[in-house]
Structure 1
Amino acid sequence: MHRYGLIGYPLTHSFSQKYFTEKFEKEGIPDSRYELFELPDISAFPNLIASTPDLVGLNVTIPHKQAVVPFLDELDPASAGRIGAVNTIRILPDGRKIGYNTDYYGFRLSLEDWLRSLEIGPQTLHALVLGNGGAAKAVLTALDDLQIRYRLISRRQTAEALAYESITPEILDEYRLIINTSPVGMYPNVDDSPAIPYGMLTKRHLLYDLVYNPVETRFLQQGREHGAATHNGLPMLHLQAEKAWEIWNQ
């Protein structure tokens, strides 16, 4: 049996479990199953590995993308090593655990596809990145590689980030691409949205939400109501899931 799974907390819903279970059935992949492993605390991770010897691959979600790093034997230098956050772990037959970041690939490819469809060159854009957790780290690395200048926005003003209340009309005029990397607005809290000044948005703006459930968050809905182009996190999820599968089976 090849066992795969997801670690995080809480795991009230899981795209990954549904996606991979359907993939195994559809593609006739034998002796494989995908399970959810709720870990309230990352200190339980070694015990999970020890008690599940047929585990060959894991996905990692909130809040463990950075906390899991010290428990791994190495990081893929091209993704997790640069980003400092892990969302995919490959467990080798000798027990070594290698961390990767497929959020990077999923975000970068889906953003490039979207901008191509809008006939917008990445280098013409500046971005506001909402949130500063593990997902934000992958997004920032992709933006660097696409040469998109960005500013971080978080709840509190820091040396690295602006506070939400500091977003002015001038900033929104310059930073047309707004990317939500926070879980704000995710099911079941579907009425929540990041505290940006939606009334200042125009048809020049582009809103990308990493949240995929619901398909249209309040963040995207309010952007659309002001004429902005919008994009949800589902294409990114599909791309990063396929990249994880490639890593586990290389």
Structure 2
Amino acid sequence: MKKYGLIGYPLTHSFSKRFFTEKFEKEEINATYENFEIESISWFPEIIKNNPGLIGLNVTIPYKEKVIPFLDELDEAAEKVGAVNTVRINRSKDTIFLKGYNTDTFGFEASLKPLLKAHHTKALILGTGGASKAIKFVLNKLDISFISASIEELKKNEIRYEDIDQRMLEERLLIINATPLGTYPKTETFPPIPYEYISEKHLLFDLVYNPEETQFMKKGKEKGAAVKNGYEMLLQQALKSYEIWNRD
């Protein structure tokens, strides 16, 4: 029986375990998916060693970057983004080879591209955490320029939220929420931007998927903007992970 799993901490609300368990049952696939809730990434080698049937892992917060030193190779996206959310485990008689991938980039691109219009040439990313790295990779690939709003110490190509004004929003018609604001149970929260300048030309993409419609999305819809949540991105990255694990 093939075995897959997820490492992270905490793992109280795991989309991956529920998704793959249902997939295996529905498609009558002889496989299991297990959560490995580890308090330290130093436990990672023990998971590989103690689960000889394990051939694939997903990686979530806070280990997408910390897992990299334990891997033998990275694919292009993982290397450029600097984060891994999928690990393929190749086992031979005497060796174990671990390759890291970033399927968040695939999921975001697959979800975003059908919604893009010719005028979506400039983006505003809300947040500068780990989630924003995959977003930047895809925007660069699609030749969409971007600037990020941060509450941390400013780095290159970053601004403060209070600097987001009418001119900026009229210029940047793609707005991506890469923060956890609005996530259940704190569904009343939303990124602090001047929504009065949102128009029907805007596309608001929220990486949050629970609830299905966030306050960020509601405020965009009220102004006639197109909106999208993060569920399809999540679904697409999961399917891509499964494809990677089962390549010949």
TM-score normalized with structure 1 length: 0.92
Kindly provide the CA deviation profile for residues 25-53 of structure 1, in whole angstroms up to 9, marking residues without a partner as x.
Answer: 111111x1111122233222222222222
Relative to structure 1, the CA distance from residue 154 to residue 40 in structure 2 (aligned partners, 3 Å threshold; closer, same or farther) is farther
Kindly provide the CA deviation profile for residues 191-234 of structure 1, in whole angstroms up to 9, marking residues without a partner as x.
Answer: 22122222332222210011111111121112112222100111
Instruction: Report what 2:113 is aligned to.
Output: 112
Q: Write the distance in 2 (CA, Å) between the matches of 1:181 and 1:59.
A: 20
Deviates more, 1:159-168 or 1:136-145: 159-168
8 Å contact kept, 2:191–2:216: yes
8 Å contact kept, 1:206–1:229: yes
Q: Secondary structure at the match of 1:190?
A: coil
Q: Secondary structure at the match of 1:43?
A: helix
Instruction: Report what 2:97 is aligned to.
Output: 96
8 Å contact kept, 1:59–1:88: yes
Query: 2:146 aligned with 1:150, yes or no?
Result: yes
* Counterpart residue type for residue 58 of structure 2: N
Q: Write the distance in 2 (CA, Å) between the matches of 1:199 and 1:42.
A: 44
1:140 to 126, 129, 136: 136
8 Å contact kept, 2:120–2:174: no
Offset, 1:249: 0.2
Q: Write the distance in 2 (CA, Å) between the matches of 1:154 and 1:7.
A: 28
Q: Secondary structure at the match of 1:92?
A: strand
* Counterpart residue type for residue 68 of structure 2: V
Query: 2:128 aligned with 1:129, yes or no?
Result: no
Q: Write the distance in 1 (CA, Å) between the matches of 2:60 and 2:3.
A: 18
8 Å contact kept, 1:157–1:163: no
Q: Write the distance in 2 (CA, Å) between the matches of 1:2 and 1:150.
A: 41
Q: Write the distance in 1 (CA, Å) between the matches of 2:2 and 2:26.
A: 17
Query: 2:190 aligned with 1:189, yes or no?
Result: no
8 Å contact kept, 1:187–1:214: yes
Query: 2:194 aligned with 1:203, yes or no?
Result: no
Query: 2:164 aligned with 1:163, yes or no?
Result: no
Q: Write the distance in 2 (CA, Å) between the matches of 1:98 and 1:198.
A: 42
Q: Write the distance in 1 (CA, Å) between the matches of 2:35 and 2:181.
A: 22
Relative to structure 1, the CA distance from residue 219 to residue 3 in structure 2 (aligned partners, 3 Å threshold; closer, same or farther) is same
Q: Secondary structure at the match of 1:241?
A: helix
8 Å contact kept, 2:103–2:241: yes
Offset, 1:124: 4.2
Relative to structure 1, the CA distance from residue 249 to residue 56 in structure 2 (aligned partners, 3 Å threshold; closer, same or farther) is same
Runs of 4+ residues over 4 Å off in structure 1? none
Gaps of 5+ in 2: none
Offset, 1:157: 4.7
The total of aligned residue pairs comes to 243
Offset, 1:135: 2.1
Q: Write the distance in 1 (CA, Å) between the matches of 2:37 and 2:127.
A: 23
Structure 1 segment 205-244 matched on structure 2, within 5 A: 205-244=202-241
* Counterpart residue type for residue 85 of structure 1: A
Q: Write the distance in 1 (CA, Å) between the matches of 2:89 and 2:185.
A: 33
Residue identity (%) = 52
Q: Secondary structure at the match of 1:178?
A: strand
8 Å contact kept, 2:89–2:98: yes
* Counterpart residue type for residue 150 of structure 1: F
Q: Write the distance in 1 (CA, Å) between the matches of 2:161 and 2:196.
A: 14
TM-score normalized with structure 2 length: 0.92
* Counterpart residue type for residue 97 of structure 1: L
Instruction: Report what 2:16 is aligned to.
Output: 16
